[in-house]
Structure 1
Amino acid sequence: MKKPELNITPFVDIMLVLLAILMVSVTVSTYQEKTVNLPEGSKTTPAAKKPTITITIKKDGSVIVNKEQIPMKNFLEEFNLKYGNFNKNSLVYIAADKNIKYQTFMKVYSAVVKLGFTQIGLLTK
């Protein structure tokens, strides 16, 4: 007596075709949600932008703070007089020439930190 053979190839072919049809039909159908009628919120003014301080240290060692030159030899005192009353959460950006001495940069940076500014960013290209 001959043993019966089980051939599942036609079954797999039919399942693959059904799977392809299912995948195409699911991606074509779109889900529509009922429109939601939202309540009105309070009308507020947009948040005020924080004032920023931009410090530029040039190649020759001169320091410009918000388009105003400050002498380097007494930078801490001058910076404190002009910007000491600013909000300490103000953004402070330091843009330094890549050829300046590290000591020059650290003098400016430490002055800003000593005055209590916490959000200091270093600008790069």
Structure 2
Amino acid sequence: MKDNGFDYMNVIPLVDVMLVLLTIVLMTSTFVARGAIPVQLPKASRQQDRTSLKTVTITIDKSGAVYLESVPVTLAAIATQLKPLPRDTTVMVKVDRAITVQRCVDIFDLLAVTGFTKVALQTERGR
């Protein structure tokens, strides 16, 4: 018998698999790009370089809730949880622009009392 070769290759199943993989990649990249807590950062004219590798993040959302590394906490709990960290650890404060200044000052005052000197307020680049 004579063995006949393929006249064409059916690529439709391959295209279907690639579209499914593309959908999965796009959906997971959307989740990775966003933070866990939605915060609208205030604008600044220039950005500062972040040189420290170890950073602790404190976030205050639009409703005034305080989070330490994405975990809801009270002001007293922040002092307790930061106590074992070295005092040269960088503390990044992310505050929603709708929050009153007093709530932000309370956080900075707490960090000053506990002895942290490397404190930064995260902003977005403005116009």
Q: Same fold (TM over 0.5)?
A: yes
- Provide Cα deviations, 1:88-119, integer angstroms capped at 9, x if missing partner: 00010001011101111101111011100010
Q: Secondary structure at the match of 2:98?
A: coil
Identity across the alignment (%): 23
For residue 68 of structure 1, the aligned residue among 46, 68, 71 is 71
Q: Identify the residue that residue 84 of structure 1 maps to in structure 2.
A: 83
> Which aligned pairs between 1:1-125 and structure 2 lie closer than 5 A?
50-71=53-74, 75=75, 77-125=76-124
How far apart, in 2, do the equivalents of 1:64 and 1:107 lie? 14
| Alignment length (residue pairs) | 73
- Provide Cα deviations, 1:57-96, integer angstroms capped at 9, x if missing partner: 111000111111113xxx0x21121111100000100010
Q: Secondary structure at the match of 1:99?
A: coil
Runs (5+) with no aligned partner, structure 1: 1-48
Q: TM-score, normalised by structure 2?
A: 0.54
Aligned in 2, Cα 1:50/1:87: closer, same or farther, shift over 3 Å? farther
Tell me how large the CA RMSD over aligned residues is.
1.2
Q: Identify the residue that residue 11 of structure 1 maps to in structure 2.
A: none
Q: TM-score, normalised by structure 1?
A: 0.55
Q: Secondary structure at the match of 1:56?
A: strand
Question: What is the Cα deviation at residue 50 of structure 1?
Answer: 4.4
Detail structure 1 runs of 4+ shifted over 2 Å in the superposition.
none
